[in-house]
């Protein structure tokens, strides 16, 4: 009979993680922005192979590791399908003039001084209404990025503002999957979780907005406004610009608000974009298809190309041309490749117990409420980096820490808030995480470029840790009101 696998030592569990970290660092130094084109994927495969060697040496069977890989990839399939549909949606929304119209009208409303604050607030509102940071970034975010570029604002700063707003809304929306998942893992109810989370989330987004306002008022605006009019003329001269086109984004937002699943909602938006291209942009259809005779054949070719491959609309303005191009589904293949490789690594690490061994060691270091919350936040970040999936970064720490929080006399909403403040928002800051890779691909902005400016995502984990150490709004079991500052952990418990 096959012997039971041996429990890994802490150093054994850390070997694949150390290997991954070193090679990823080397990749970034050598390949730079091109690291996601294949080298990072190979690093994840090599790290997974090393993890498998360690696991087999511990007594695990390959069949068990294989099942873990398949399970992990299966958990990411929904994200992969959404990613493909986002690529198609971006294509038909360009073909139909929806994204160019958003840029056109947005340029007339916004100016460089208030743009970053406005981009963050608008992204937050839409994400709150839809419950999806992914849909918000893929639709409104793409348009805001185009507007910001024409205003002369660096794309990393714009991406940070969009990401900050989108993840604030996603965190606070009852329609969000992670907002429902966190309280389920911690053992509390949805609306208690949201109310309790507001105490740390509102200060975090407020600080982020102040920082964006400071950037807007202090950076040089020379030449930015003067560049707007030629851009407006180029868009107006190429597309038929009309507010009627916004019916398509309104349709997608309405479907998501009405709790239609993301896949059919995005597919509906993609097809509606194709229909509006037929109605409003027949000349663009001829340009993209390369045909000049049969309109129906040209329309079929253009819409199909918009959904699955690279298309570009040519104007007489070079900057506008750089905005009016998209890769369709094929443009997402590198990201899908990255996600699958990340799931292979995460599947082996989880099924072999290597990840659990590492996090158990972290729990032992938590002696009071502040250190416990810090350990939870660190574990969420650790899973985002190593398992490359925000759901795993919520589920596993949630299960692992639930009993510890209860033994410490802490209500489960403390844990659910920490899971969201750390697991959900930091996922987009990891380039090889499903969230970081997806948002980078959708926006066309390298993750390392927007990380320094994703203020909300950077501040949130520190805010929840600060509240824990200051003993602010720490809900105790058997007490009707939160403990405020002034009582020590020992006294409160």
Distance CA 434, CA 132 (A): 14
Q: What is the pLDDT of residue 360?
A: 76
Rg (CA), the chain: 24
Q: What is the pLDDT of residue 317?
A: 81
Q: How high is the mean pLDDT of the chain? A: 84
Residue 33 pLDDT level (bands cut at 50, 70, 90): low
Residue 303 pLDDT level (bands cut at 50, 70, 90): very high
- Other Cβ atoms within 10 Å of 43 Cβ, number: 23
Task: Report, as an integer, the average pLDDT of 34-42.
Answer: 78
Q: What is the pLDDT of residue 221?
A: 56
Proportion of the chain above pLDDT 90, given as a percent: 34
For β-strands 325-326 and 311-312, DSSP reports them as antiparallel
Residue 492 pLDDT level (bands cut at 50, 70, 90): very low
Distance CA 365, CA 348 (A): 26
Tokens standing for residue 202: 């509102």
Q: What is the pLDDT of residue 491?
A: 33
How far apart, in Å, are the Cα atoms of 182 and each of 74, 205, 434? 20, 20, 18
Q: What is the pLDDT of residue 168?
A: 94
Residue 181 pLDDT level (bands cut at 50, 70, 90): confident
Task: Report, as an integer, the average pLDDT of 370-382.
Answer: 89
Q: What is the pLDDT of residue 486?
A: 37
Task: Report, as an integer, the average pLDDT of 40-64.
Answer: 92
pLDDT tens digits, 323-351? 788 888 998 888 788 778 878 888 898 88
Most confident listed range (27-41, 85-99, 346-360): 85-99
**Helix 412-419 / helix 455-469 crossing angle, nearest 10 deg:** 150
pLDDT tens digits, 253-268? 888 778 788 789 889 9
Q: Which of 99-113, 367-381, 447-461 has the lowest mean pLDDT?
A: 99-113
Pairwise pLDDT comparison (86 vs 213), residue with the higher score: 213
Whether 251 contacts 272, CB under 8 Å: yes
Task: Report, as an integer, the average pLDDT of 372-387.
Answer: 86
pLDDT tens digits, 99-149? 888 878 876 766 677 889 989 988 888 788 667 788 788 877 888 888 888
Q: Which contacts (CB < 8 Å, 24+ apart) does range 72-77 have?
A: 72/343, 72/344, 72/346, 72/347, 72/350, 72/387, 72/389, 73/340, 73/343, 73/344, 73/347, 75/343, 75/389, 75/391, 75/392, 76/339, 76/340, 76/342, 76/343, 76/389, 76/434
Classify 198 in phi/psi space as left (phi over 0), alpha (psi -120 to 50) or beta: alpha
Q: What is the pLDDT of residue 449?
A: 92
Q: Which contacts (CB < 8 Å, 24+ apart) does range 286-289 have?
A: 287/313, 287/314, 288/95, 288/313
Distance CA 94, CA 248 (A): 12
Let me know how long the chain is: 493
Q: What is the pLDDT of residue 479?
A: 60
Find the Cα–Cα–Cα–Cα dihedral 97, 103, 105, 110, rounded to 10°.
170
Task: Report, as an integer, the average pLDDT of 305-334.
Answer: 85
Most confident listed range (72-81, 85-94, 317-326): 85-94
- Other Cβ atoms within 10 Å of 12 Cβ, number: 17
487: pLDDT strictly greater than 50? no
pLDDT tens digits, 387-435? 777 877 887 788 778 878 888 888 999 999 999 999 989 999 998 887 8
Distance CA 376, CA 386 (A): 15
488: pLDDT strictly greater than 70? no
Q: What is the pLDDT of residue 132?
A: 79
Distance CA 18, CA 177 (A): 31
**DSSP states of 71-115:** HHHHHHHHHHHHHHHHHHHHHHHHHTTHHHHHHHHHHHH--HHHH
């Amino acid at each position: 009979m096959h012997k039971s696998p041996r429990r890994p030592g802490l150093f054994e569990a850390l070997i694949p993680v150390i290997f991954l970290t070193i090679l990823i660092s080397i990749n970034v130094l050598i390949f730079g922005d091109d690291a996601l084109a294949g080298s990072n994927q190979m690093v994840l495969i090599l790290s997974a192979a090393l993890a498998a060697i360690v696991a087999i040496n511990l007594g695990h069977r390959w069949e068990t590791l294989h099942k873990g890989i398949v399970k992990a990839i299966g958990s990411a399939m929904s994200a992969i399908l959404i990613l493909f549909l986002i690529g198609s949606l971006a294509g038909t929304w360009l073909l139909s003039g929806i994204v160019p119209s958003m840029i056109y009208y947005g340029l007339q409303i916004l100016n460089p001084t208030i743009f970053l604050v406005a981009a963050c607030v608008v992204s937050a509102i839409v994400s709150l209404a839809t419950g999806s940071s992914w849909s918000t970034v893929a639709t409104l975010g793409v348009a805001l990025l185009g507007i910001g570029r024409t205003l002369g604002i660096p794309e990393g700063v714009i991406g940070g503002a969009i990401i900050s707003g989108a993840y604030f809304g996603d965190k606070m929306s009852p329609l969000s999957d992670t907002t429902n998942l966190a309280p389920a893992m911690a053992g509390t109810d949805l609306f208690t979780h949201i109310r309790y989370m507001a105490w740390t989330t509102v200060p975090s987004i407020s600080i982020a907005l102040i920082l964006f306002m400071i950037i807007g008022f202090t950076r040089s605006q020379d030449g930015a406004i003067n560049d707007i009019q030629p851009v407006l003329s180029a868009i107006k001269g190429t597309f038929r610009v009309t507010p009627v086109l916004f019916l398509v984004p309104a349709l997608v937002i309405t479907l998501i608000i009405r709790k239609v699943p993301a896949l059919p909602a995005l597919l509906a938006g993609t097809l509606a974009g194709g229909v509006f291209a037929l109605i409003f942009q027949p000349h663009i259809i001829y340009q993209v298809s390369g045909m000049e005779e049969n309109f129906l054949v040209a329309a079929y070719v253009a819409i199909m190309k918009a959904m699955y491959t690279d298309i570009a609309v040519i104007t007489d303005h070079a900057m506008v041309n750089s905005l009016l191009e998209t890769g369709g589904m094929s443009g997402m293949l590198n990201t899908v490749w990255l996600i699958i490789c990340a799931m292979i690594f995460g599947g082996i690490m989880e099924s072999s117990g290597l990840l659990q061994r590492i996090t158990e060691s972290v729990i032992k270091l938590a002696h009071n409420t502040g250190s416990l919350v810090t350990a939870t936040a660190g574990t969420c970040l650790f899973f985002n980096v190593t398992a490359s999936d925000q759901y795993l970064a919520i589920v596993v720490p949630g299960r692992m820490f639930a009993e510890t929080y209860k033994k410490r006399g802490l209500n489960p909403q403390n844990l659910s808030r920490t899971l969201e403040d750390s697991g959900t928002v930091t996922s987009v800051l990891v380039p090889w995480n499903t969230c970081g890779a997806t948002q980078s691909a959708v926006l066309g902005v390298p993750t390392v470029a927007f990380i320094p400016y994703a203020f909300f995502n950077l501040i949130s984990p520190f805010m929840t840790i600060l509240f824990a150490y200051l003993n602010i709004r720490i809900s105790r079991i058997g007490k009707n009101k939160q403990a405020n500052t002034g009582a020590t952990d020992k006294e409160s418990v």
